[in-house]
Amino acid sequence: MNEIPLIDFSSWSQGSPKRRLDLAADIISAAHQTGFMYLQNFGVDPKETTKMFDMLEEYFALPLSIKQKTPYISAEANHGYNGFEEERLDPQGPGDLKETFTMRNVIQASANPTLWPSTNFRTMAQHFFYSCQLASKNILEALSLGLRMPQDYFAKYHTGENQTLRFLHYPHLPSHRPNQIGAGAHTDYGSITLLFQDDVGGLEVQDFDGHWIPAPYIPETAVVNIGDLMQRWTNNYLRSTLHRVSPTFRPGRHDRYSIAFFCDPDNDTLVQCLPSCISHDIPAQYAPITARQHLLEKLRASRKLVENDVSFDQ
């Protein structure tokens, strides 16, 4: 992996059937070779993204006492504010130097006003969730088409139950722990992730030789990557790749902000290796598992690892 490919997704909505097939082939190639890609013209308005970044910067600038009024509830709910070092994505490292606000199934969660910092926050998050949901549906359809399966094969298992929007803030603060970074090396848990990042930098992707390759900000794109369940579905043909966040800070712009949309399957979805990805020479590498079982195991582990650690003193 020398670089992460940049793919123009506009052919999905504007192209001929052949161009859609060609686009799907490009998506599959990137997902197979690197597990990561940049997408442009994929359906999320960059102006809307800019407004979201403005809002989340204002939110994370609030006093800790205010942010803690809507705390992270549980792995089952997967909603609310997480403070510094409350998550450890790399089990070998210290707690991550970041704070987050996580919103699982915004459509359902929006009905409960007590889960939200403000009405405006809830409204903007809901609109952005819808945009990401539609974009993810199109990407899932492209993956299905590229794997020569019915176009709705993956999309029908992603109705929103485990689709999650997450705001992240990586502060420009000195770490008081060895090897502590913004987000430790990890793979994502579900099907695909859309990541919107600012120009501070810090996202790195591991190549086949174990080297860390920068994934810098490219205007009006999202970084899209394959998660563990999609790798299981395709029997390792599509690649869930290790990545981390180690921000580099520029004068005058100290903190890194990003927005992630995790497009994960509904709870009862049974993820098992697709017959088209199994052969005599390449037998199934994974036992069937429900999306709920897999996701809860991952979410609980990332918090359990830090339960006995000293809390970050903001």
pLDDT digits (tens, 9 = 90+) for 175-212: 667 888 899 999 999 999 999 999 998 999 999 899 99
Q: What is the CATH number of the domain that holds 117?
A: 2.60.120.330
Cβ atoms of 138 and 151 closer than 8 Å:
no
- The pLDDT-based confidence of 271 (bands split at 50, 70, 90) is very high
Q: Which of 162, 257, 195, 179 is nearest to 4 (CA)?
A: 195
Q: Please check the confidence at residue 312 and state whether its pLDDT lies above 50.
A: no
Residue 23 has pLDDT above 90, yes or no: yes
Minimum mean pLDDT range among 117-121, 154-158, 181-185, 262-266: 181-185
Mean pLDDT of 225-249: 93
- Flag whether 1 is in a domain: no
Q: How confident is the model at residue 139 (pLDDT cuts 50, 70, 90)?
A: very high
What is the C-alpha to C-alpha distance for residues 167 and 151, in angstroms, rounded to an integer? 30
Decide if pLDDT at 311 tops 50.
no
Average pLDDT score over residue span 62-85: 95
In this prediction, residue 249 carries a pLDDT of 57
- Whether 265 has a pLDDT exceeding 50, the answer reads yes
With contact defined as beta carbons under 8 Å apart, do 190 and 295 qualify?
yes
3-state secondary structure of 78: coil
19: Cβ–Cβ under 8 A, 6 or more apart, which residues?
A: 11
Q: With a cut of 80, say whether residue 308 has pLDDT above it.
A: no
Q: What is the pLDDT of residue 175?
A: 66
User: Is 180 a member of any domain?
Assistant: yes
List for the chain the helix, strand, coil content (%; round to 5). 30, 20, 45
DSSP string for residues in 25-42 = HHHHHHHHHTSEEEEESS
**Is residue 310 included in any domain, yes or no?**
no
Query: pLDDT band at 285, cuts 50/70/90?
Result: very high
313 inside domain: no
**Residue 167 is assigned to a structural domain of this protein:** yes
**What domain count does the chain have?**
1
Q: Is residue 311 one of the residues assigned to a domain?
A: no
**Two structure tokens written together for 109:** 């969660």
User: Can you give the length of the chain in residues?
Assistant: 314
| Within-domain flag for 151 | yes
Output the pLDDT for position 314. 36
For 55-86, b where at least 16 C-beta lie within 10 A, e where not — what string? Answer: bbeebbeeeeeebeebebeebeebbbbbbbbb
Of the ranges 27-41, 164-178, 216-230, 265-279, which one carries the lowest mean pLDDT score?
A: 164-178
What was the pLDDT predicted at 162?
Answer: 96
Q: Domain span at residue 30?
A: 6-304
Q: How many other CB atoms sit within 10 Å of the CB of residue 26?
A: 18
pLDDT over 90 (residue 173): no
Of the listed ranges 2-6, 71-75, 131-135, the least confidently predicted one is 2-6
What does the CA dihedral 168, 225, 136, 99 come to, rounded to 10 degrees? -10
283 neighbors 243 (Cβ within 8 angstroms): no
Q: Is residue 309 part of a domain?
A: no
For β-strands 212-214 and 36-40, DSSP reports them as unpaired
The mean per-residue pLDDT over the stretch 57-69 comes to 97
Q: Which residue has the higher pLDDT, 271 or 175?
A: 271
